[in-house]
A and B are shown apart, each in its own frame.
Chain A
Amino acid sequence: MIQTRELTKQYGRFTAVDGVNLNIAAGEIYGFLGPNGAGKTSTIMMLLGVVKPTRGEISLFGERYSPGRLDLRRRIGVVPEKHPLGMWTWMTAAEYLQTFADLFGLKNAGPRIDHLLERVGLAEVRNKRFSEFSRGMLQKLSIVRALLHDPDILFLDEPISGLDPFGVKQIRDLILEENRDGRTIFISSHILSEMEKICHRVAIIFGGRLMAEDAMKSLLSTLAKDREIHVDLESIPEGLTERIKGLPFVLEATQTENKLLVKVPKSGDYRKELSKHLIDQNLVPLSIQEKSLSLEEAFVTITQENIDLFARIGGKA
């Protein structure tokens, strides 16, 4: 669906994006992560055709994409991080949406507008000036605007920032629903826990360079150095932790209250062996769970490694 090849953006001597190669497949939810100043925004702006790349190519729907390709933008829906306040303050929500419907050349867009407003719970405020909307309402309106023309790809920049938990759930459900209907979703967000829940694939950018791009599970699995098994016991007898440490497959063991945290090598599943050892000790585990690396941990890992790398070579972190 979207491919970039050696995508680069330079502002004077400063290289904001350096040879980024992305590959976003149709129908997936693609997460785009990076700390502030990593080149995320510049990359997104180039993908949206707002900023012209210094070098490199963007391919959209199999066609070469550039800022002049206004026709291809019909197939993209964008929900920016912040809605421009002060824009068209006289318009009602319905009028605002009708404007964008007209921009996209949609005929008889009224029923679709009503349907989408209903879907996000804004039907009752359709004749209210959207400049009076709350942050959450504006975000929902922005999503409706982005969906009006039934785009193939939906770009979302921080779609849930500033929302309450209920709003977060609403947006999450909406995104998943849209994806189930076949829409490709591109999300950029700092809220990694949410990204972990919904993204099929993620890319991590740091210092203008693409650090990682993979399916979520593969990425987490690849980045995890080891596995951690959590064992819940009724009580932990004296010396148990030491004895566990002595097991040949155990790398590290610690305890917190009634929970044992045992690190084992990434390859292999050692829950059975561990369970057998505990039973031999006349201990019955209440639960044995394997905790995988979270996206947040993976993100920090990648970026910290690069910070260290930069520091060693004298670059800017």
Chain B
Amino acid sequence: MTSKRRIQAIAVVVLLLVFPAVSFAQVPVREEQLIYSILAFNGRDYAGTFTTKQAEAMYLKADVDNFLTVRKTLVYFWPITQDWKTDTSALNVPFEGRLLLVGPDGKDRALESTPYTYYNVRGEYELNWKVAKGPEADQAWGQYQEIMNAYWASVQQYYQERAAYEAMLSELTSTITRLRDEGRDVSRLIEVLRELKAPPEPQYPRDYVVPPAQVSEAFILNLPVGEYSLRFETLEGELMQGSEIRVVVFEKRRAEGVGLEVIPGDKWTRPVESKTPASVLYVDGSADLYLRPFFQQEYNDLYYEKMRQNDARGNPNLMKWVRIQQVPQAGIEISGPGRATQVVREAPFYVEQVKGAALGYQIVPFDPEGAHKDREASLRAFHVPLTAGDRVVRLQVQDKDGQILRSGGRQIRVVRPSRAGILSLILAVLPLVAMAVVLLRRSRVYTS
């Protein structure tokens, strides 16, 4: 083949390869679809998902308020994250009507949309989600607005007072300087300066951990366990085509689980979770551990994943533990060979950059009065120190009264590759040696 022809052939091949790549690089196709937009409670918080037209069912937790709206929007598949997304900025047409529900008992139910809002007042140490419906929703929202308005008003006030303070400070300082230069007595003015206090900055309201959302309208589904079929009926009384869908309402299997968030001292931004009861934490012992116990509940893997994201994959035959909330005021009893048994409590820690040219950081106890004044703690956790000599450390999570929490027991085992491991390999090939011996002995029977 001549070099010209070779170049042409290569060019054709490249084009053939590039062309499909170019097509893949095009903007994903957006399709107008009727979707159910779902705000579902997952045991810990509310998370939103939606159903595409390919969805076989929607999944909801039983006996809690879940919020559903029906709308038309553009739906597309985003290959980078491998999931379906909506483009509500381009198209977002909510529908008004009724939801028709048929339950396992065969009875029909019709649901009207209801104004609602939801909020959380206590945070991750104690779940306290509240849902306000109807007039209560407006009330809750109004209350929140008042708190926030008061706060913003106090912020305004603060800025004004701050400005006045700054002005007075500047005035006093310059007057003191001028008078001192003139050789006059400025002690009284200095005293005034000392007594001058900056106005306190208003505190952001801590009434809510998650403040109420603006009141919206949605269908509120609070259903017992079972399978339902759902359809949407417009205001004109017509069943909307393509709105039929199955609703799977499920419940937790076990609720008394205790899991541990494990934060290694050398990778504090990459914690892992130990959820399986009686599981073992195998570590290499190169860093201390910072633990955070939490309560967990057990759900069907598939159902839970699809509740959080309708197009997710899950295993229908497995149950998984789901983190719900931190164990409040817990203690962790630490014991083990060569260790005195002790109970550690949660403490704040600060992550300090290692000084000098070396990269890295270290986790130290938080000192709000000293080194870490005017800063916030990096994390709050239970410190479990590990030394090179540790082999086994036993952990037992306790509640605030010192009672052992069932399924809150774990073991930490420090493992490191060692030469002694080769003994296992020798054991593994020992049967072949036995084989040789046996065959040799057997051959002697034939020759005897």
User: Interface on A for B, CB 8 Å cutoff?
Assistant: 90, 92, 127-129
A92 to B445, CA, bound (A): 9
Is B448 part of the binding interface, using a Cβ–Cβ cutoff of 8 Å? yes
Q: Is the interface of B mostly helix, strand, loop or mixed?
A: helix
Do most interface residues of chain A lie in helix, strand or loop, or is the interface mixed?
loop
Q: What are 9 inter-chain pairs, A to B, with CB distance below 8 A?
A: A90-B442, A92-B445, A92-B446, A127-B445, A127-B446, A127-B447, A127-B448, A128-B446, A129-B446
A288 to B442, CA, bound (A): 66
Q: A90-B442, A127-B446 are in contact. List 7 more A-B contacts (CB 8 A).
A: A92-B445, A92-B446, A127-B445, A127-B447, A127-B448, A128-B446, A129-B446
- C-alpha gap A208/B445 in the complex (Å): 49
CB B440 to nearest CB in A, in angstroms, measures: 14
- Interface flags, B407-448, vs A, CB<8A=1, else 0: 000000000000000000000000000000000001001111
Chain B residue with minimal CB distance to A129? B446
Inter-chain contacts of A128 with B (CB < 8 A): 446
- Chain A neighbourhood of B445, CB < 8 A: 92, 127
**What residues on B are CB-neighbors of A129 within 8 Å?**
446
* Docked CA distance A128–B445 (Å): 8
B447 neighbours in A (Cβ, 8 Å): 127
Which interface class (under 10, 10 to 19, 20 to 34, 35 or more) fits B?
Answer: under 10
Closest residue on chain A to residue B444 by CB atoms: A127
Question: How long is the Cα–Cα vector from A139 to B1 in the complex, in angstroms?
Answer: 75
Contact partners of B446 in chain A: CB under 8 A: 92, 127-129
Closest 6 CB pairs of A and B: A127-B448, A129-B446, A127-B445, A127-B446, A92-B445, A92-B446
Bound-state CA distance A171–B402 (Å) is: 92
CA distance A90 to B442 in the complex (A): 9
Bound complex: CA of A232 vs CA of B447, how far in Å?
60
Instruction: Report the separation of the CA atoms of residues A151 and B445 in the bound assembly, to the nearest whole angstrom.
Output: 30
Distance of A127 Cα from B446 Cα, bound (Å) = 6
The residue of chain A having its C-beta at the shortest distance from the C-beta of B442 within the complex is A90
Q: Give A32 to B4 CA distance when docked, in angstroms.
A: 91
**Cα distance A109–B130 in the bound complex, in angstroms:** 89
Instruction: Quote the shortest CB–CB distance from A128 to chain B (angstroms).
Output: 7
Which residues of B lie under 8 Å from residue A127 when comparing CB positions?
445-448
How distant is the Cα of A90 from the Cα of B445 in the complex, in angstroms? Answer: 11
Q: How far is the CB of B442 from chain A (nearest CB, A)?
A: 8
Given the complex of chains A and B, what is the CA–CA distance between A127 and B444 in angstroms? 10
Residues in A with CB closer than 8 Å to B448 are: 127
Min CB–CB distance B54 → chain A (angstroms): 56
In the bound complex, CA of A281 to CA of B15 (Å): 122
State in angstroms the CA–CA spacing of A92 and B442 once bound together. Answer: 11
CA separation between A128 and B448, bound complex, in Å?
A: 9
Please give me the residue from chain A that is nearest to B447 by CB atom: A127
- CB closest chain-A residue, reference B448: A127
User: A117 CB to closest chain B CB, in angstroms?
Assistant: 15
- Contact pattern, B 47-85, Cβ under 8 Å of A = 1, otherwise 0: 000000000000000000000000000000000000000
Chain B residue at smallest Cβ distance from A126: B448
User: Complex: how many Å from CA A90 to CA B446?
Assistant: 9
**Per-residue 0/1 for B195-217: is the Cβ within 8 Å of any A Cβ (1 yes, 0 no)?**
00000000000000000000000
A142 to chain B, nearest CB (A): 21
CA distance A129 to B446 in the complex (A): 7
Q: Which residue of B lies closest to A94 (CB)?
A: B445
Q: Which residue of B lies closest to A132 (CB)?
A: B446
Complex CA gap A292/B187 in Å reads 164
